[in-house]
Amino acid sequence: MERIFVRAKIHRATVTDANLNYKGSIAICPLLLEYAGILPFEFVHVNNLANGQHWETYAIKGKPGEITLHGPPARLFAPGDKVVVNCLANLKADDIPDFQHRVVYVDDANRLLQYEDHKIFEA
């Protein structure tokens, strides 16, 4: 049996652009991708704090400070909206005790403030 966990979260990032005329994805600041451990083309869930919308897509490397929704979500996300980006992991029971969840915190310009790792089972 496997269970699904949120392995990484970019918390309260600010949407910098929404571009309808693109095939689809979310462009994320390279530094935030690195700290969150999200790879280009990895599947992510994007939640809009302004209107409750949820979108699933893949991440691509953006420019420094960038959070841009491309394609259809451009109708659901607008510059200035705060979003939470979650990346999931399927874990087998043996992997769960060592699993760590990473939260990346950013300021209003999507600059890294800090990050935290959380274990499911604290010692």
* Domain segments of the chain as ranges: 2-119
Q: Regarding predicted confidence, which is higher, 58 or 123?
A: 58
Q: Model pTM greater than 0.75?
A: yes
Q: Which one-letter amino acid corresponds to residue 56?
A: E
Kind of pairing, strands 54-61 and 2-14?
Answer: unpaired
Q: Which one-letter amino acid corresponds to residue 78?
A: A
Catalytic annotation, residues: 25, 58
Q: Check residue 123 and give its pLDDT.
A: 57
CA dist 107 → 6, 16, 32, 61, 100 (Å): 21, 13, 12, 19, 23
What CATH number does the domain located at 2-119 have? 2.40.40.20
- Cα-flanking dihedrals φ and ψ of residue 96, to 5°? -60, -45
- Cα-flanking dihedrals φ and ψ of residue 97, to 5°? -60, -30
